[in-house]
Amino acid sequence: MNPLEQLVSSFQDLVGQVPEFIQPVIVMLAGAIPFIEGEVASLIGVVGGLNPIVTGIAAAAGNYICVLLVVFLTSRTRTAVVNHRTAHTVADGEARGVPESAADAAHQEGTPAKPESKGHKRFKKWLVRFGVPGASLLGPLAIPTQFMSAMLVAGGTPRAWVLLWQAVAIVLWTTIATVSAWLALHLVVPV
């Protein structure tokens, strides 16, 4: 038995000590962690000896539930900030006796421009070039889906559009990772 086969066998023995109904829950929890997400969580489950279909579904579900929470929290935060700015600007204009549109202009001019970070510039470039579908599908190659969805919603993209395309991306990448892990495990390391 080569070292890789021994490592896989030892890991499967370790996973076998966990009750069967808890194993997919562990994969789902792993899928909710940024940088691990559905892709790595499905690899863990497949190498651990779980059914690849159950593993893929659990990993994708964990990742999507986390994205769903991030999108709703970011959306509520964005709404609160926008409402606060609007109320603050209107109140400032009324206090000075300035019409609302002039108060908006004064608020915009009075706020010093903060320089954009390199990452934010790169994100905007991707978003302009590929749109929300492209950013969602290609985003996992660069940053976690949780971060991508938060940036999209914070930038003003509708929640439903972000959730739809993040779901497509999560299912696609988790399926690719699950099938690849299963094929590698059966073709490279015959277990």
pLDDT in tens, the chain (191 residues): 788 888 888 888 989 899 999 999 999 999 999 999 999 999 999 999 999 999 999 999 999 999 999 999 999 998 888 888 777 666 665 655 555 554 455 445 555 567 877 877 777 777 788 888 988 898 888 889 999 999 899 888 899 999 999 999 999 999 999 999 999 988 887 76
DSSP-assigned letters across all residues of 122-190: HHHHHHHHHHHHHHHHHGGGTS-HHHHHHHHHHTT--HHHHHHHHHHHHHHHHHHHHHHHHHHHHHTS-
Predicted TM-score (pTM) of the model is 0.78
φ/ψ of residue 49, rounded to 5? 100, 10
What confidence score (pLDDT) does residue 1 get? 73
> In terms of Cα–Cα distance, which of 174, 169, 128 is closest to 149?
169
Place of tokens 């999560």: 170
pLDDT of 111 reads 53
For the beta carbon of residue 134, count every other beta carbon within 10 angstroms.
Answer: 15
CA distance 11 to 23: 13
Which tokens go with 177? Answer: 């990772």
Check residue 9 and give its pLDDT: 87
User: What is the per-residue pLDDT for 135?
Assistant: 85
Provide the CA 175 distance to its chain's centre, in angstroms.
Answer: 16
Q: How far is CA 33 from CA 36, 73, 166, 170, 175, in A?
A: 6, 16, 15, 13, 18
pLDDT for the residue 106: 47
With beta carbons less than 8 A apart as the criterion, state whether 43 and 63 touch: no
